[in-house]
Amino acid sequence: MKGISLTGALFVFQACYGIAEPPLYEEGGTARMSFTLVSHKDGKPLEGINVMGSPFNYPSTVLGVTDANGHCTVEIPYRRNIDGPYLRFEDNGGNYIAKDTTLTDLRERDILIKMDPAI
């Protein structure tokens, strides 16, 4: 009888309070993401592309810049009441058209971004 009571109590607790979420989903927390940016035209890595991000619908902060291999790892801001963080990939040199996206899946992995030349 005690086993049933304890199980029932745990069920009620979980139903009321939910299961604890991992730290990256805490309000004001961050999610670690990696990006590789390449030219859509020839697949070559793009160096010096700004990865900008915001938990709102406009980029506010440069989170990182791609290296010689087109790679950049950033910490993306997270807000519970927003669908997903807004990101912008922008070439300050103007050689590539900026790309915007909203991420809905914040699992850590490398995301390939292909950018179109501006010309």
What is the mean pLDDT of each successive set of 10 residues along the chain, which is 119 residues long?
A: 51 50 55 91 96 72 94 79 76 93 76 92
> CA 117 → CA 20, 40, 61, 64, 91, distances in Å?
45, 8, 24, 21, 10
DSSP state of 22: P
CATH number of 23-115: 2.60.40.10
Sequence spans of domains, the chain: 23-115
Contact 84, 103 (CB under 8 A): yes
What are the phi and psi torsion angles at 4 (to 5°)? -70, -40
pLDDT at 40: 95
Backbone angles phi, psi at 32, to 5 degrees: -85, 125
Q: How far is residue 104 from each of residues 19, 84, 101, measured CA to CA in Å? A: 20, 5, 10
How much is the pLDDT for 5? Answer: 57
pLDDT of 54: 73
**What Å distances lie between residue 5 and 11, 13, 19, 37, 51, CA to CA?**
10, 12, 20, 55, 52
Q: Please state the pTM of the whole predicted model.
A: 0.69
